[in-house]
Amino acid sequence: MEEGVGSEHQKRPQKTIPPDGTTFKMMELGQHLEETIPPYGYWNMQFYQSESAYVKFEVSIPRGSSIGVYGRRNALPTHTSYDILHVLSGYKTPGPSRTGRASKVIAPLQPQTMTKYLEQGHWFLSLYNDDGDPQEVSLHGEVSSEFTEGCPRGCSGNGDCILGSCQCHPGFAGPDCTQKATYPPTDLWCCVWAS
C-alpha cells in the first residue's frame, strides 16, 4: 500500500464506543476548561442549568480540525439523539503534501462562538473529535447577558431580546414569548376588498 493512502482509516480505533454517564465530568458555567480530545474520541461534561436562558459557549479549536458539539437535556447525547448539534470547523490551509491533500498547519487556536437557548435542567455536553490526530480544545460557557438581560426568561427561546424587551417570533406573544399567538387576529377579518 502506498504511503499515506488509507492511513486515515488505519488511525481509526477498531471499536468506537459511545460515551456512558461515568465519563461526563461536572462543570460550572463560567469555568474555562481545556482538554486534548483523542482521535475519534469524546470530551464529555455535564452541568445544571438553574433557569432557562441563552448560554454562550466560546470554543477554541485548532486550525483544520472538525469538532462536533452534542448536547442533551436530562439524558446523554448520542449522534442521533440530541437537543443541540453544532459542528465547529477550523479552516484548512492548503499546502504541498505527498498525498495531494491539504496539510495541517500548526497555528493558534481558532475561537468560535455558539449561543444556544437552554431550558432549565441537567445538561450533558459531548465534544467529538472527527480527526485522526489529537486536538487541543478550550471551552468557556456562561449565561449570555446580551440575549437575556432585561428580557423575562430570555424570551423563552421564542423571540429575540432587543433593548431589554422581547420581540417574539411569529406564532408567539406575551412579555416572555410563551403564549401561542393566533395569526391573523380574528377581528381583522372585517373587511372585504372590492375591485
One of 1.10.630.10, 2.30.110.10, 3.40.630.10, 2.60.120.380 is the CATH number of 7-144, namely 2.60.120.380
Q: Find the radius of gyration of the CA atoms of the chain.
A: 22
Instruction: Provide the CATH topology of domain 152-188.
Output: Laminin (2.10.25)
pTM greater than 0.85: no
User: What are the start-end ranges of the E strands in 104-184?
Assistant: 110-118, 121-129, 135-143, 159-162, 165-168, 172-173, 179-180
Per-domain residue ranges for the chain? 7-144, 152-188
Could you list the pLDDT tens digit for every one of the 195 residues in the chain? 445 555 555 555 555 556 677 889 999 999 999 999 999 999 999 999 998 888 999 999 999 899 999 999 999 999 899 999 999 998 654 444 444 444 444 557 889 999 998 999 999 999 999 999 999 999 999 988 777 677 887 788 888 887 778 889 999 999 989 999 876 655 444 444 444
> What region does 154 belong to: left with phi over 0, alpha with psi -120 to 50, or beta?
left
Helix runs in 23-137, H state only: none
**What is the distance between the terminal CA atoms of the chain, rounded to a whole angstrom?**
78
